[in-house]
Structure 1
Amino acid sequence: MKKYLQDSAYENSPARLTVTQRLYFVVLVATMGSLAFGYDTGIISGALPYMGLPAVQGGLGLNPYSEGLVSSSLIFGAAVGAFLTGYITDHYGRRVTLRFLALIFVLGSVGTAISPNTEVMVAMRFVLGIAVGGGSSTVPIFIAEIAGPKRRAPLVSRNELMIVSGQLLAYVVSTIMSVVLHDPHIWRYMLALAFIPGALLFLGTFFVPASPHWLVAEGRHKEARKILEKLRETSLEVKTEIDEMLNHARETREGPPARELLKQKWVIRLLLIGSVLGIALQFTGVNAFMYYTPIILKTTGMGTSAAIAATIGNGVVSVLAAIAGIRIIDRYGRRNMLTTGLLVVIVMQVALGSVLMFVPSGLAQSFLALGCILIFLFFMQMCIAPVYWLLMSELFPMKVRGVLTGAAVSFQWICNAIVAFAFPPLLSVAGNQTFFIFAFINVASLIMVLTMLPETRGKSLETIEKEMRERFGEQEREQAVNTIS
């Protein structure tokens, strides 16, 4: 059954494309899930005003409470989806998991578009969230295992580019539809469009290969070699990677089973690092800026229309930053990227709080505040977000990579929900000092990166796993010796 699910047209496809073209095609297909992720998280801001209309006017009659339920149900679904798909991706493979998630994307998109009432909308947004969360943990793993050590960083970083591109697309689509269409059911069209990347992902999975790492772990060495022969430039690269995978698979079989591995302290340490990275990502406050930029800018006296239009600026800056991140991520270490990003984020948060507290309301304050937000977003999306997703695909051991990545990404979604819920009441209570609180949290994140995070640049996944076992396992042995002595 497992082998049947893994069959695809890829293995028998003609060798017309170059290695680079094949890799880019695989990444394009996989990141359709990321595009759907970005679109689904972004489109709700444009749909909610129309969904709030009374039922007789084509809306769902949402009140503030039900608006919060509709918005947050996707986030909670994403936390569940990221956690549950970990087992599926380890057991059935990355490609089959993406195929399964694509069907959920289509089901959730159509379900939200035709929802007759709030209860069904909340349920279908939760279903859609399962696909979003599952895709957010599976896509980076799949790309990392397909790409190889030389191209892993820039190719996995395309995941972040497609997420922010999906968000920008959502902002643009909602703006254009609101101007061009004068239909009370416009929100249904906005939500329905999300099925397109889901459908493309489903079809595309029949034309991309399975993960060679997963195939070797399953004992299907010949299939893995055939795939690598199409995805690597030289036979030496193929031989080197296959030998490394085979040696690793042999050591893994001789090692403890997955359940026992999950109890080992070095694995728990890696999961802790992954979870702390989720805190570092979300407690930058990035989603507070993405969701509430209009509210922040309106406090400076900026008009409502101009404040909403600034959201598109957020999307454009995020896309440009993600492109820049792809170009530089393989030239600098993961630690250097995160350190630079966090330093600028801290400075911009302090600057924004200072502008809002000490600069008189008016045009100058509005533009200074917007400038702080855009610089924040640029370095956030260039240096922090892509490195987070890259590390989620690198840190964890092969035998339990899906489970641990799913758990860490699920925790990240929970942090997302906490920030989204806490920001408005925190802003109302603490006022502009809220941004100093975020800066303080990010100082703690910076200390964590400098003291805990290992460097993974330029290493194969097998080498990273070996080094993590030796590094944290050695720490355990040293602690035990010190305790005895």
Structure 2
Amino acid sequence: MLASTPAPHAAGAETDDAAAKRANRLIIRVAVIATMGALAFGYDTGVISGALPFMTLPADQGGLGLTPMTEGLVASSLILGAALGSLFAGHLADRFGRLTALKGLAILFMIGALGSTLAPDVTVMVITRFILGMAVGGASATVPMFLAEMAGPKRRGRLVSQNELMIVLGQFLAYSSNALLAYFAHTPHVWRYMLAIAMLPAALLYVGMHFVPKSPRWLASKDRYDEAREVLLEIRADPEQAEREMKEIIRQNEIDHEQSGWFAAFGEAWTRKLLYIGMALGFVAQFTGVNAFMYFTPIILKSTGLGTNAALTATIGNGVVSVLATVLGIWLVGRIGRRPMLISGLSFVVLAQVALGLVLSLIPSGPMQSYLALGCILMFLLFMQTFIAPVYWLLMSELFPSHLRGSMTGMAVCFQWICNATVAFLFPLSLSLFGSATFLVFAGINVVSLIFVMIWVPETKGKSLEQIERHLEKHLGEDEVPA
């Protein structure tokens, strides 16, 4: 039963201005606490680049004696864990709630970080990095979804895009702390200190989850309408807006099927097509080659003649540019649509990759090639992190219907992590076999991605989650292009 619409404020009741400030403070609190998961995600994916050189030292020198094979296992175990974690976290978030899922992920973060810090050998390191990856993948699927469900249509773009900002901020902190610890901590065990820092955002996430409300859309999906309304009244400045949104949620909830879970996503033609679009967006995001640069920039720069320490220091530039670009992306996403941002970003990414390929193939090895190569990489990251990465995570939080949002987000993000692992595995091999032509191959792939985006990716800016769902069900159900 729908509760009656809240009565107008009586004399002495909270003023509209006070209510707006209260709601704004609560939304900010939700965003800051929830994105601790994204900060941990970013730190854990970035820290390994600085830890690996020390972990390759022999055991009697404080390392783990990693070989090229075990080095690849340690690096890729997190990515494979992330694929599994994103798949299951979405399903668990649908069943038990977003907050419960995030609390569980925080515990996994701490177990994985502590285990990898204390790992006595390669086997334990691979296992604990896999556990850490499950937390990373789970956070990548759950945090944007939770933020999207808490935000109103006008604030959703910027609020969800803060997730990407915290990811790149976490990577920047990892690169910076790696460089500082390597310089000041004169011990071969420095890599353990690098990995231990990851426990801090995990602890903040766990504690903070006790101070944020549950998702009103998840509560409504469980027919807990009174609780959902109470949350909406807390996080919306205008009670009338909250009531309108509540009615829209209930109306859409009554239309949605009772089914949930992975298999239900394939039950109807339009949800199948939507899932394929979401998975294809994961391919688009990862086959830009972004993580080839994030994981292997030192290797690329060393191939131009740059020294090891200089290459590691230059990697900090990746973090700085990524953070600044994401701030710009958050500003843009509230002003222009998702499709124009993706189309612009992919166009510039193609140009940056072609430029890098030409620099590495036409300019002799030396300082000039090193600086130009670094410039191309930073230009690539500027466009990637401004126009593509924030929009990818935003679309993952918007595209899928409410009754299947967790499961479908989990499956789509899982495929994104598989693409991530594929790029991370193939890139060093491709670089050794084809050299600079590798970047021209990436450019060609991104031309195909650009065509896909122009034809198939829908525009979601300015619509409520329920309006997006109705639009996609109508067009995909009628075999029309959703854009």
Report the TM-score range of the alignment, normalised by the length of the smaller protein: over 0.9
- Describe the superposition over 1:205-228 as per-residue Cα deviations: whole angstroms up to 9, x where unpaired: 100010000111111111111111
1:241 match: 245
Alignment of 1:279-428 (within 5 A): 279-428=283-432
- Describe the superposition over 1:103-137 as per-residue Cα deviations: whole angstroms up to 9, x where unpaired: 10011111111111111111000001000000000
For residue 184 of structure 1, give the secondary structure of its aligned residue in structure 2: coil
2:25 match: 21
134-143 or 55-64, which deviates more: 55-64
1:60 and 2:64 are equivalent in the alignment: yes
- The answer to whether the 8 Å contact 2:396/2:409 transfers is yes
For residue 479 of structure 2, give the secondary structure of its aligned residue in structure 1: helix
2:160 match: 156
For residue 384 of structure 1, give the secondary structure of its aligned residue in structure 2: helix
Give the Cα separation in 2 of the matches to 1:121 and 1:368: 37
With structure 2 as the length reference, what TM-score do the two structures score?
A: 0.93
335-344 or 363-372, which deviates more: 363-372
1:450 match: 454
- The answer to whether the 8 Å contact 1:70/1:121 transfers is yes
Change (3 A) 1:96 1:368: same
- The answer to whether the 8 Å contact 2:144/2:393 transfers is yes
Change (3 A) 1:112 1:261: closer
- Describe the superposition over 1:337-389 as per-residue Cα deviations: whole angstroms up to 9, x where unpaired: 00000000001111111111122333332222211111110110011001000
- The answer to whether the 8 Å contact 1:245/1:462 transfers is yes
Pick aligned residue for 1:107 from 105, 111, 120: 111
Give the Cα separation in 2 of the matches to 1:366 and 1:188: 31
1:8 match: none
Give the Cα separation in 2 of the matches to 1:447 and 1:183: 51
Q: How much has 1:17 moved relative to structure 2?
A: 5.9
66-75 or 256-265, which deviates more: 256-265
Structure 1: unaligned runs, 5 residues or longer: 1-13, 478-485
2:433 match: 429
Give the Cα separation in 1 of the matches to 2:362 and 2:56: 37
With structure 1 as the length reference, what TM-score do the two structures score?
A: 0.93
- The answer to whether the 8 Å contact 1:278/1:415 transfers is yes
Change (3 A) 1:437 1:462: same
Give the Cα separation in 1 of the matches to 2:285 and 2:260: 32
Change (3 A) 1:366 1:476: closer
Give the Cα separation in 1 of the matches to 2:152 and 2:403: 18
- Describe the superposition over 1:141-183 as per-residue Cα deviations: whole angstroms up to 9, x where unpaired: 0000001111000000000000000001011111111111112
- Describe the superposition over 1:91-111 as per-residue Cα deviations: whole angstroms up to 9, x where unpaired: 011111001100100111111
For residue 92 of structure 2, give the secondary structure of its aligned residue in structure 1: helix
Pick aligned residue for 2:102 from 90, 94, 98: 98
Give the Cα separation in 1 of the matches to 2:461 and 2:200: 35
- The answer to whether the 8 Å contact 1:137/1:405 transfers is yes
1:131 and 2:135 are equivalent in the alignment: yes
Q: How much has 1:306 moved relative to structure 2?
A: 1.8
- The answer to whether the 8 Å contact 1:278/1:411 transfers is yes
2:219 corresponds to which letter in structure 1? L
CA root-mean-square deviation: 1.6
1:142 corresponds to which letter in structure 2? F
For residue 459 of structure 1, give the secondary structure of its aligned residue in structure 2: coil
Change (3 A) 1:64 1:475: same
Pick aligned residue for 1:471 from 470, 475, 482: 475
2:334 corresponds to which letter in structure 1? D
1:34 match: 38
- The answer to whether the 8 Å contact 1:50/1:184 transfers is yes
- State the identity %: 56
Structure 2: unaligned runs, 5 residues or longer: 1-17
Give the Cα separation in 2 of the matches to 1:146 and 1:16: 15
38-47 or 288-297, which deviates more: 288-297
Change (3 A) 1:369 1:234: same
Pick aligned residue for 2:176 from 172, 175, 199: 172
Query: Aligned pair count?
Result: 463
Q: How much has 1:22 moved relative to structure 2?
A: 1.2
- Describe the superposition over 1:231-284 as per-residue Cα deviations: whole angstroms up to 9, x where unpaired: 11111210111010011111125x766655532111111111111111110000
Q: How much has 1:474 moved relative to structure 2?
A: 1.2
Give the Cα separation in 2 of the matches to 1:159 and 1:217: 24
Give the Cα separation in 2 of the matches to 1:137 and 1:437: 29
358-367 or 185-194, which deviates more: 358-367
Give the Cα separation in 2 of the matches to 1:256 and 1:170: 42
Change (3 A) 1:219 1:318: same
- The answer to whether the 8 Å contact 1:301/1:366 transfers is yes
Give the Cα separation in 1 of the matches to 2:266 and 2:217: 20
For residue 165 of structure 1, give the secondary structure of its aligned residue in structure 2: helix
2:88 match: 84
2:237 corresponds to which letter in structure 1? E
1:141 and 2:145 are equivalent in the alignment: yes
- Describe the superposition over 1:68-100 as per-residue Cα deviations: whole angstroms up to 9, x where unpaired: 111110000000001111210000111110011
- Describe the superposition over 1:33-69 as per-residue Cα deviations: whole angstroms up to 9, x where unpaired: 0000001111111111221222222221111111111
1:205 and 2:209 are equivalent in the alignment: yes
1:146 corresponds to which letter in structure 2? M
- The answer to whether the 8 Å contact 1:168/1:312 transfers is yes
- The answer to whether the 8 Å contact 1:265/1:476 transfers is no
Q: How much has 1:299 moved relative to structure 2?
A: 2.4
Q: Hey, which bits of structure 1, 4+ residues long, moved more than 4 A?
A: 14-17, 255-261
1:49 match: 53
For residue 267 of structure 2, give the secondary structure of its aligned residue in structure 1: coil
Give the Cα separation in 1 of the matches to 2:112 and 2:259: 39
1:116 and 2:120 are equivalent in the alignment: yes
Give the Cα separation in 2 of the matches to 1:412 and 1:348: 22
